[in-house]
Chain A
Amino acid sequence: MKVLYFAWVRERIGKAEETVEPPASVRTVSDLMEWLVARGEEYANAFASPKTIRAAIDRTHVKGDAAIAGAREIAFFPPMTGG
């Protein structure tokens, strides 16, 4: 699946997107965040306060308990500041 990062999440991780293949035990958005954190310091830094991180699956906002099975595109980003 493709994972996208925006704003300071993108800056801290150092990339805008990547393709990942997490194991089957990674079932939810929160699981995926934890799995990414284990990959390195830049991820741990980006996801240091998980409550401030928003997520979307296939371009729709979701909560941390959302299942990622079948997702094509998962995005992580800070609270939005448009308008």
Chain B
Amino acid sequence: MTVPVTIRIQSDDFDIAAEIAALTKINTDIGAVVSFSGICRGGNGPDAIAAMTLEHYPGMAEAEIGRHVAEAVTRWPLDGVTVIHRYGRVVPGDNIVLVLAASKHREAAFQAAEFLMDYLKTSAPFWKSEERGDGTNAGWVEAQAHDDNAAARWEK
């Protein structure tokens, strides 16, 4: 059976409840949906930001996420996957990314959602640059070693 997969790269916001409803109505044998949403964080003190802009590599972003979704589908018994990633300017509190994994039981859904997020952080071609409160450019966000370590633990 082909697992229904939705992958979207968009500048618009998304509606988490509507995306979950769209995924779970596919079949009545889905017993678990794990939802992860990543949100733009404002931070505190001198490191506080007013906004961030997400740049992406059109075409490759979809392809790279698609490769990891395809792997997730072979590793866990999934009944549906949705990945939505935004690009463009967002402010603290805005949604950035959504990963939904649906399965008969929760274990596969939890693991697949975490696997997808870990790979999304380290291998989907997106880059964040930040703005301070006064509108000045705070530069590009640096990649974190702990994100690489999180992705590495899924390697077989």
How many residues in B have their beta carbons less than 8 Å from beta carbons of A? 28
- Return the chain A residue nearest B118 by Cβ: A83
CA distance A83 to B150 in the complex (A): 13
Contacts of A39 in B (CB 8 A): none
**Cβ contact within 8 Å between A75 and B124:** no
A75 to B129, CA, bound (A): 19
Q: Is A40 an interface residue (CB 8 A)?
A: no
B104 at the interface (CB under 8 A from A): no
Q: Which of A56, A75, A81, A82 contacts B142 (CB 8 A)?
A: A81
In Å, the complex CA distance between A83 and B68 comes to: 14
Question: A35: CB under 8 A from chain B?
Answer: no
Q: How large is the interface on A (under 10, 10 to 19, 20 to 34, 35 or more residues)?
A: 10 to 19
Taking the closest CB of chain B, its distance from the CB of A52, in whole angstroms, is 9
Which residue from chain A places its CB closest to the CB of B52 in the assembled complex?
Answer: A81
Chain B residues engaging chain A, CB cutoff 8 angstroms: 38, 54-57, 59-60, 63-64, 85, 96-97, 117, 120-129, 140-143, 147
- Cβ-closest 10 pairs across A and B: A82-B126, A79-B143, A7-B127, A59-B60, A83-B121, A81-B141, A83-B120, A82-B124, A59-B63, A81-B128
User: Which chain A residues have a beta carbon within 8 Å of chain B's beta carbons?
Assistant: 4, 6-8, 56, 59-61, 75, 77-83
* 7 residue pairs A–B, Cβ–Cβ below 8 Å: A6-B55, A7-B127, A7-B129, A59-B59, A77-B57, A78-B127, A78-B143
